[in-house]
Amino acid sequence: MAAAAPRRLFALSLLLTLAALTTAISAAVEPSYVLGADISWVQQREGERVKYAHNGRVMDMFDILKEHKFNYIRLRLFVDPTARVPEDTPNSDGWSASPYSAAGYCGLDSTVKMAKRVKAAGMGLLLDFHYSDTWADPGKQYKPVSWRGLNFSQLTERVRSYTKESLLAFKAAGALPDMVQVGNEVVGGMIHPDGRNNGADFAKLVNAGINGVKDVDPNIKIMMHTINERNPNGWVQTLKTNLNNAEANAANKIDVIGLSYYPKWHGNVDSLRRSLTAIANNHNYKVAVAEYADKHREVNDVVFALPANKRLGTFVWEPQEFSGDNSLPLFDWKNNRRETNSRIALYPIMAEAYGIEDGEGNTTGVININSRDRISTRNFSLIHGGTVAYNSNVPGVITVYSINGRMLGKIRVDKAGLYDPARMLNLPLKSGVYMLSIKSNSFLDERAR
């Protein structure tokens, strides 16, 4: 399939001002294909004075990833990472269970700070709710210590309120996620024992989490995360049935099904291909690999080979350091710091092959405003790509500002037509957050009357 025509990605969010009338618009980056990374450990490692480098030069992790055409970041969130899980709680896979972080890493405050860096870098954000104080995965889904006295009805209410309260904190910081993952590797349910297995109670907890997201912003996309085993296609169908039993049409609120894929546990690449193809063919969801750490090109080729309307992309898991399960990270420990290795060079190559890089080195994508491709008023429309369709023959002015309020330039418009601020200003605007002011003289005249 031919790649979409390259287009400069202008903004993550736009603030349009029509004279004295101000309308705030939330716009999420929708790359044609996601090249994502989960780098939740980076903040902690930086606190431990770990440095990251590329070509022998110390750099910010976000700059390294953007240089290699990553366009999305995934961050995990624990309820209380400082909590101590009771000693009699089984820990089936050997990961340290309690506390996850005495310093509170991957808790709300630290994750909001990390999310602000994601947004400042102009990248999409997937927030991964574990609904636990520590790791949640197929082997364990520990109920948060502070929730252990709740009955099921109270627990369901708490899942919704906790999700809402958390997202309101991100929103207040200007770092609202573009996508939310309701639970982590929930093939066996979540918040055990209440939501064990893929049954009715699990579906009620999932629905509570989804509703908590939609309480804050109905346009945030929802991902459900399972693994590449135990018949993922059948798991999705059972989840849909139980969700719809919990609340009419609840399954329609899901946008993406993400799978974890680690060859040691989940088979060869052909197995992954069969699973993703079955989900894409049988369900009206996009599909993604939400975690992988090996076979970098092969995994992405499998996802990209799916129909364009069914593929989302991939998220490589902790590529700066994870080397367990025979995985191959993108960084090596060298010169007392983590330095990129040759594997990271695959990502710009993939970006070019998949059509997510234009000739000027800008990440391509589409502005999606409230799940529509355009927003209109009487005198202008904002269409995908950040282009302004000016609908009036009365002169006006388009002014572009940085997110800090510094004016970057003005475009005087004399007649109706399409105006691309990024191109017309002839400025090296990068993917990021800008403010766009559009003032039409006809609008001013109308308000004067």
pLDDT for 186 equals 98
- Show Cβ contacts of residue 142 under 8 Å, excluding neighbours closer than 6 positions: 85, 89, 97, 132, 133, 134, 136, 192
C-alpha distances in Å from residue 221, one per residue of 179, 218, 286, 357, 381: 4, 8, 11, 24, 24
CA distance 381 to 374: 6
User: How confident is the model at residue 418, as a pLDDT?
Assistant: 74
* Lookup: tokens for 355: 């059509």
**Residue 79, exposed/middle/buried by CB under 10 A (0-12, 13-18, 19+)?**
buried
Q: Which pLDDT value is given to residue 409?
A: 77
Tokens of 71: 């366009």
- Predicted confidence at residue 395, as pLDDT, reads 80
- Render 8-40 in DSSP notation, one character per residue: ----S-EEEEETTEEEEE-EEEE-SSEEEEE-T
Closest CA relative to residue 202, chosen from 139, 246, 168: 246
Task: Provide the 3-class DSSP secondary structure of residue 349.
Answer: helix
Residue bearing tokens 């509703």: 211
Residue with tokens 């918040």: 191
Cβ atoms 147, 83 nearer than 8 A: no
Tell me the chain's radius of gyration from C-alpha atoms.
Answer: 23
Q: Is CATH 3.10.20.600 correct for 33-354?
A: no
SS3 content of the chain, % helix, strand, coil (to 5): 30, 30, 40
- Full-model pTM: 0.75
Q: Where are the alpha helices (DSSP H) in 90-194?
A: 108-120, 152-172
Catalytic machinery residues: 185, 291
Q: Is the previous residue joined to 86 through a cis bond, with omega within 30 degrees of 0?
A: no
Query: 3-state class of 294 per DSSP?
Result: coil
Quick: pLDDT tens for 82-131: 998 876 665 544 455 679 999 999 999 999 999 999 999 999 999 999 99
pLDDT tens for 187-228 read 999 999 999 999 999 999 999 999 999 999 999 999 999 999
CA distance to 14, 73, 190, per residue, from 332 (Å): 39, 20, 34
Tokens representing 81 are 């990472």
User: What is the residue extent of each domain of the chain?
Assistant: 18-24+368-448, 33-354
Residues of the chain with pLDDT below 50 are: 1-29, 92-94, 357-378, 384, 442-449
Specify the pLDDT at position 70: 97
